[in-house]
Structure 1
């Protein structure tokens, strides 16, 4: 799966890591729904760190279509809520 972190670039993440990323996505969604800003910040950071750790960066010149777009680390809870709708960030 090709994942874009807004403002950073693209990473290729193996499908075998989706379960781990989905756990973080579910936590993030719950924190957004409850308005837990501190939990949101912590979990968004953990999700982005996991993608960076598990993924292989694609060259900047690569123009692969992203299957998933994650917000930048400084995105607000409101901005991410608007991105999500009710679906979460990671496809189930």
Structure 2
């Protein structure tokens, strides 16, 4: 799977990592719904760090279609809320 972090680039991740990313996504959703700005910031950072840690960065010149687009690390709670689907940022 190809994951894009807005403003940073793309990473190729094995599909097996979706479970770990979904756990963080579920946490993020709860924090957003409760208005926990500090928890939101911490969990968004953990989610993006997991993508960077588990994935292999694609070269800047590569323009692969992204299966998943995540917000930039400095995105606001409101900006991320606008990106959400019923499943959160990560479908499934």
TM-score norm. by structure 2 comes to 0.97
Q: Does 1:34 align with 2:52?
A: no
Q: Which runs of 5+ in 1 are unaligned?
A: none
TM-score (normalised: structure 1): 0.97
RMSD over aligned Cα, in angstroms?
0.7
CA deviation digits over 1:55-88, x for unaligned, max 9? 0000111010000000000000011001104331
Cα separation, 2, equivalents of 1:65 and 1:33 = 30
- Counterpart position of 2:91: 91
1:55 and 2:46 aligned: no
**Alignment length (residue pairs):** 92
Question: Which runs of at least 4 in structure 1 moved beyond 6 Å after TM superposition?
Answer: none
